[in-house]
Amino acid sequence: MNNFKRGVFALLGLTLMALTLSAASAEEFELIIEHTEIQETDIKPKVGDTIKFVNKADIAHNLYLTYEDGSVLNLDTQFPGTSKTALLEKSGKVVVRCWIHPIIRLDIDVAEAD
């Protein structure tokens, strides 16, 4: 095998190792939705972590996350008894709202990944 191929395989190996380590360090936080409220929380998520929203209400919700730069992650309709997961892609303040029930609001501070 020539040096070029060895270099390519070494680079691929390092990339896979980095991806595995970052995935292993990511956390999943679970938040409960009851009626028109998301449970109070003091979570400290980082970029790359996920938040699992569990709908324990007897009504549907449609949560969305808005980042400071204005970008939006829409989780679509979430029926009672189901869950939706959001991958946190950016650091800063993230606001969670419901399209159906505007009274729902949760502010989350997302830190940079380690």
**CA–CA separation, 109 and 6 (whole Å):** 43
Tens digits of pLDDT across the chain (114 residues):
666 555 444 444 544 444 444 455 799 999 999 999 999 889 999 999 999 999 999 999 999 999 999 999 999 999 999 999 999 999 999 999 999 999 999 999 999 998
pLDDT of residue 58: 96
Q: What domain count does the chain have?
A: 1
Is 10 among the domain residues? Answer: no
> 49 lies in which domain range?
27-110
Question: Where do the DSSP E strands lie in the chain?
Answer: 28-34, 37-38, 50-55, 63-67, 72-74, 83-87, 92-98, 105-110
Q: How far is CA 71 from the centre of its chain?
A: 14
- CATH code of 89's domain: 2.60.40.420
Is 45 among the domain residues? Answer: yes
pTM of model > 0.85: no
**CA–CA separation, 62 and 86 (whole Å):** 12
Is 19 among the domain residues? Answer: no
Is 22 among the domain residues? Answer: no
What CA–CA distances, in Å, run from 93 to 27, 45, 70, 73?
18, 11, 11, 14
**CA–CA separation, 47 and 26 (whole Å):** 8
pLDDT of residue 40: 83
Whether 51 contacts 66, CB under 8 Å: no
Is 1 among the domain residues? Answer: no
pLDDT of residue 86: 98
Is 7 among the domain residues? Answer: no
pLDDT of residue 25: 77
Is 15 among the domain residues? Answer: no
Is 3 among the domain residues? Answer: no
